[in-house]
Structure 1
Amino acid sequence: MTAPATVVMLHGGSHAQLATLDDPALRPYRIRPLHIRTAAVDDLSSADVVIVADRLRPDLLARWHVHILACLDRGATVMVYGENHVGDWLPGVREQPRPTNFWWWRTGEDSRLRRRADDHPAWGYFSERSVIWHYHGALTAPGTVSLVDLLTVDGETDGSVLLVDEHTHPGRLLVTTMDPVYHHGSGFMPGATQLLYSSLRWATR
């Protein structure tokens, strides 16, 4: 019988992050919370899955960068959620901020988000609703697979809002400019809860 994955979440103690960690639906994952300010970096050393919660303070996250990358190098799965300035510390990843349209489906606008790589195994875990709601930036990372692209108003590809990398490192990497922990813990935004749950299923498969 395979032992369950050891899952940790790097968080900053915000109300949304604490509410997410307290979600009864996530208890089967036995997520171990690591506070970005007080936890020891060695606490990452035994993790099979590392979740970098969205909206962490960049100055506090900085001391964790090299240790998160070390997790990828030893074969762990790392998921980095939105607004964590990944372009500054994830090798090969470029991130550009984009304005957020929170309620495009209410105004009748085009989200300009498009599914990609329909034959990728990750789509066995993600529904379209879970990955098309809103975003805070566009990612470019050669060698990765974009699951959801953002288009410009002219219909050109602007970048990815959700990508996976299963080849650059011994471990697996998922990066998104969406912020599911914040919206799940805050109790609003259709799709955020689905993205959080789906990404955890993908990471622990």
Structure 2
Amino acid sequence: MSAMPRVAFVHGGTHAQLATLADPALAPYRIRPVHIRKLEPVALADADVVVVSDRLRPDLLIPRSPVLLECLARGATMVVFGENGVGEWLPGVQEESRPTNFWWWRTGEDHRIRLRAPHHPAWPYFADRSVIWHFHGVLKPPQGAVSLVDLETVTGERDGSLLYLDELSTPGRLLVTTMDPVYHHGSGFMPGATQLLYSAMQWATRS
């Protein structure tokens, strides 16, 4: 990756996505916004890093997903945030919905979020708080991908991945999560979401 990677941010023009793009803390990345309706090969042709914002409209994202897959095929780094139906367009990925527990820290419930692969080189970029807040569903990643964050069932069994890193199934690198940090950061609440957003940007551009 070049000293200053070229970063493209795929968004749908929602208030949270636009607020995130306007965040001064992200200015050093020199992000190039790409609206989902204008997602064509030329829009991402020179991008070293592609960030797919959470909560994009599936009827717009899924038909254009081959453009994203082509970025991975040529070796780009991609971050895909949550509620984007990845089970319908990312090869080898299965996705299942799960109830979202918004207030476990107030009720005292076990959030059942478990950190995995503690010695993985990605972990220095992510603090615990950045990946323990809430989620939208679980994933079964492709063979060879490393789950960094899992959800457990109430009986202590592994339910699925909440955040995984795939560096094997394509020439590129792919970080996928069911968490939705852009929405919460741009909406001004959920501090852990802000940390995840910033951490993912650092990982994608510096590792």
TM-score when normalising by structure 1: 0.97
Please name the residue that 1:83 is paired with: 83
Please name the residue that 2:193 is paired with: 192
Partners in 1 of 2:163 and 2:62 — Cα distance? Answer: 22
Q: Secondary structure at the match of 1:136?
A: coil
Stretches of 4+ moved more than 4 A in 1? none
Shift of 1:167: 1.4
- Contact persistence 1:116–1:148 (CA under 8 A): yes
Please name the residue that 2:60 is paired with: 60
- Contact persistence 1:183–1:193 (CA under 8 A): yes
Partners in 1 of 2:191 and 2:204 — Cα distance? Answer: 21
Which structure 2 residue ranges, 5 or more long, are not aligned? none
Q: Which 10-residue stretch deviates more, 98-107 or 36-45? A: 36-45
TM-score when normalising by structure 2: 0.96
Alignment of 1:96-111 (within 5 A): 96-111=96-111
- Contact persistence 1:98–1:138 (CA under 8 A): yes
Give the count of matched residue pairs: 204
Which structure 1 residue ranges, 5 or more long, are not aligned? none
Per-residue CA deviations over 1:119-156 (Å, capped at 9, x if unaligned) read 00010100000001000010001221000000011110
Letter in 1 for 2:73: D
Partners in 1 of 2:46 and 2:63 — Cα distance? Answer: 18
Please name the residue that 2:135 is paired with: 135
Partners in 1 of 2:39 and 2:114 — Cα distance? Answer: 38
Please name the residue that 2:177 is paired with: 176
Q: Which 10-residue stretch deviates more, 61-70 or 178-187? A: 61-70
Partners in 2 of 1:75 and 1:105 — Cα distance? Answer: 40
Per-residue CA deviations over 1:65-111 (Å, capped at 9, x if unaligned) read 11101101101001100000000010010000111001101110000
Partners in 1 of 2:191 and 2:149 — Cα distance? Answer: 17
Letter in 1 for 2:107: T
Please name the residue that 2:123 is paired with: 123
Task: Go from structure 1 to structure 2 and tell me whether the alpha carbon gap of 1:38 and 1:169 turns closer, same or farther (over 3 Å shift).
Answer: closer
Shift of 1:39: 4.7
Please name the residue that 1:15 is paired with: 15
